[in-house]
Copies of this chain bind each other. A is one copy, B any other.
Amino acid sequence: MRKINIAVYNEFFHERHDPNSAKVYPDGIHSALKGFLEKDSRVGSVVCATLDDHAAVLTPERLADTDVLIWWGHVRHGNVDDEVVNAVCARVVEGMGLIVLHSGHGSKVFMRLMGTDTRTLRWRESDDRCRVWVVNRGHPIAEGLGEGFLVPAEETYGEQFGIPEPDELVFISWFEGGEVFRSGCTFKRGSGKIFYFQNGHETYPIYFQPEIQRVITNAVHWACPEQRAYRYDLGGPNAPALEGPKK
């Protein structure tokens, strides 16, 4: 089995401008993600990109060699380069896995692949207790998580979330303030598998919680394509008939 090449995009804005975020993620959310992903024996490499350098890092060549891309963004979605967006979406259709975290629901990449306005949801800055329930026990992304787990404090996301009906619903979150959220959803676009995961506010140490790390690691394994790409040619214009005329 080949090693998995991962790329992580993190906007890296809050951690440099908001002291509450900087305290929790001094080296950025991407570094926290890279930190635990590199401990996984199936992972080959983890490359990080931020808003500042993403066009230089997430080149078509790099993407062609990436199995799974993880995406975290929030207040600077609009600044992401459209050519990168195009290249990412094309690579997903070709087979690259994509994991969209938390406020990445509003990213150009996710909006484009879903075809709806995925920014739509109810939300509240809070420190609500959040119970993440497994609703699909046999799913590889839920492996090792039992009935679910507790996140002690989380920003609240609530329905209705503006996604198309997911192919599979893996998690539903319960929030202390009365909301629910489809917090773990799978989609497929072309040959690429997509996983959206709600947890991960920038001012809480969520990406250091073992269950969260387990979810993301499981999702990387699940989203990794069997081949790095499923490129194929349709034979150009006017494919010949396979069967002769009956007349």
Contact = CB atoms under 8 A, between A and B. Distances in A.
Contacts of A114: 115
A148 B176 CA distance: 17
Interface string A144-173: 001110000000101111101101110011
B190 A138 contact: yes
A124 B244 contact: no
B89 A115 contact: yes
A117 B138 CA distance: 14
A116 B93 contact: yes
Given A93-B117, A133-B180, A225-B138, A244 B241 contact: no
A95 B117 CA distance: 13
Contacts of A164: 187-190
A227 B139 CA distance: 10
A74 to B, nearest CB: 14
Interface stretch (A76-84, A204-212, A232-240): A232-240
A240 B159 contact: no
A140 B242 contact: no
A181 B135 CA distance: 9
Given A164-B189, A173-B180, A174-B174, 16 more contacts: A93-B162, A112-B112, A112-B115, A116-B190, A120-B234, A128-B241, A129-B243, A131-B242, A134-B160, A138-B188, A138-B191, A148-B159, A164-B188, A167-B167, A174-B178, A174-B180
Lowest 4 CB-CB distances: which A-B pairs, in order?
A138-B191, A178-B242, A177-B241, A178-B243
19 contacts: A113-B115, A123-B237, A124-B238, A124-B240, A129-B246, A131-B178, A133-B180, A134-B160, A138-B190, A146-B232, A147-B160, A148-B159, A159-B172, A164-B187, A167-B167, A172-B172, A174-B174, A174-B175, A178-B243
